A and B are shown apart, each in its own frame.
Chain A
Amino acid sequence: MSNASAREFNTVPAGNPGVESPLAWSYRQQKVSSPASAGVVLREKALLGHMVLRGGAIVLDEAVRQVLGMSLPAKPNTITRDEAGERSIQWISPDEWLVIVPGGEEFDLEHRLRESLGDAHFSIVNVSGGQTVLMLAGDHAREVLMKTVSFDVHPSAFPVGKGVTTIFAKATVVLRRASETEWELVIRRSFADYCYRWLLDAASEYGVDSQ
């Protein structure tokens, strides 16, 4: 299952294919607003590299330490980040982790991980095209989340460095607390427009700066 080279395929074509984020259509439909006193700031971290790692924690941890120089989060619902904060690994389930890296790095990373893992029992799936990251910040970001997700987003229940998969409106989201003021929402491509418009509506009472 792990003979690397035979199973690798770079999904990004050579040259400049002119990629668009899953929210490109939404941006064209919605009027961009940026009031001076916005209570909520909404930004997309578009076109990052997303990968789902599955397998035993110990072998994957070794490989990830070797290739990325970060450890796999061992505790449920936690995230580890590199020093720059650009690369992160999130615990999704006892044998599943979500790796997010800057766009363009994912194919090389997958190759190196496969090499490092060798014949271990594992799976790496590049899901970059299937999801995108929204960043939510501002004084009222937590209020917006309180009426959107069922999970408790109070700082006592949701410290920085935590990440959970939970219900977002009528869709699902991987909700991550990146810093004291910043939340990251990993949303599905097919729900991106719905989530985006939901957030614009939910945040409209506080004033929303959406690009």
Chain B
Amino acid sequence: MFYIHCPYCQEYREEEEFHPRGQGHLMRPADPDNATDEEWGDYLFFRDNPRGIHHELWVHSVGCRKFFNITRNTVTYEILETYPMGEQPTITAESEKLRKEQGVQTADGGWQTIGAQPDSRALNEEISS
């Protein structure tokens, strides 16, 4: 079982309360009438399937019932951060690559979930059991 931090309830909840809804940050074509078939096809049917960092849309279906984003590592299942709708991730595939190149070791376990806001440092701390 995962503990997932809901950015709206502002606390950790059981994975059971959540539901994944696929890739996050999908943009509907801005001008639908003039979008090409390819643009529509990409929007409707084609999804990323990366090995590593992935940004996903999840819903806190038993709880506040709000949608939010999760940055997740598809290899380790590690949840790197959760952030509300409309915000951009602070951790991306590029930033993770940069960390590795600069030789910064990724913390394990302790920072499993961090909020997107700079002031949510407290979330980095281990949850007391």
Contacts and interface: CB of A to CB of B under 8 A. Distances in A.
B82 to A, nearest CB: 14
A93 B65 contact: yes
Contacts of A76: 8-11, 64
A5 to B, nearest CB: 30
Contacts of B10: 76-77
A6 to B, nearest CB: 29
Interface string A19-51: 000000000000000000000000000000000
A94 interface: yes
Interface string A90-125: 001110100000000000000000000000000000
Nearest to B66: A93
A76 B13 CA distance: 13
Contacts of B8: 76, 93-94
A93 B62 contact: no
Interface residues of A, number: 14
A54 to B, nearest CB: 11
A167 B16 contact: yes
A77 B64 CA distance: 9
A96 B65 CA distance: 10
Contact of B62 (A96, A156, A165): A165
The 6 closest A-B pairs by CB, nearest first: A93-B64, A150-B14, A76-B10, A76-B9, A172-B62, A165-B63
Interface in B1-17: 8-11, 13-14, 16-17
A156 B63 CA distance: 20
Interface string B42-68: 000000000000000000001111100
Contact of B16 (A92, A93, A150): A150
